[in-house]
Amino acid sequence: MKLFSGRRPARPYCAALIAAAGSSRRMGEDKLLLPLGGIPVLAHTLRAVDAASGVDEIVVAAREEDIPRFAELCKLWGIAKPVKLVAGGATRTESVYRAALEASPDAALLAVQDGARPFVTPELIDAVIEAARVHSAAAPAVPVKDTIRLAENGAASAKTLDRSALRAVQTPQVFDAQLLRAALKSAFDAGVELTDDCSAVERIGKEIYLTDGSEENIKLTTPLDMTLAEAIWERRERSG
């Protein structure tokens, strides 16, 4: 008979991979360094990841020319956990794959976070990490509000999808480390360009467990997104 010790099993070591190697083409300027409440967008994201109890280390995939600036940003804004900066690749898939290869061999889980999602919270990160511990692949998602139409061969063949079954997937997306590395390598070797890491994992046959996301956990892509971000920031400041 095995007696219950009353202790919780040790949690898995988790490395957070920050996707921060994009060109910010649609923003028109480097969105990760834009000020939001006087703090760079990337600093908001890193501080939330740093505060998440389930994260042990951080690997940032950045453009080579941005690495010195991002290293200084980590120091300036007091990121306490170990941080490694690596040169990203030509695509998101390649960038995240490079970061995954640089994560500690002790990492049982890898949490991929968009650098341009400054309103992610430590609580949301920890909830997705816990879901991935159980299901091997997890991501936060929110219900879709708009009516979505599928146009396969032009507008004439468009059809409306059932909105109640649709979800907008966010980050962090958290996976078993070996699973994610295998999925990213498969996609990279095949030359498949993907917009997120769930797609890479689904491509090799693994289902993703969805947790509750947050409507505030937006990704900054265009100038209009920055306007919305400033409104969210002001509301948070007012509410304390």
Which pair of tokens denotes residue 34? Answer: 């834009």
pLDDT in the model for residue 64: 96
Going by CATH, does the domain composed of 14-141+169-225 fall within 3.90.550.10?
Answer: yes
Question: Per-residue pLDDT for 157 more than 80?
Answer: no
**d(Cα 10, Cα 186) in Å, to the nearest integer?**
31
Give the model confidence (pLDDT) of 174-224 as tens digits: 999 999 999 999 999 999 989 899 999 999 999 999 999 999 999 999 999
CA nearest 61: which of 104, 100, 30, 15? 100
Q: Are 117 and 229 in contact (CB under 8 A)?
A: no
Mean pLDDT of 110-130: 98
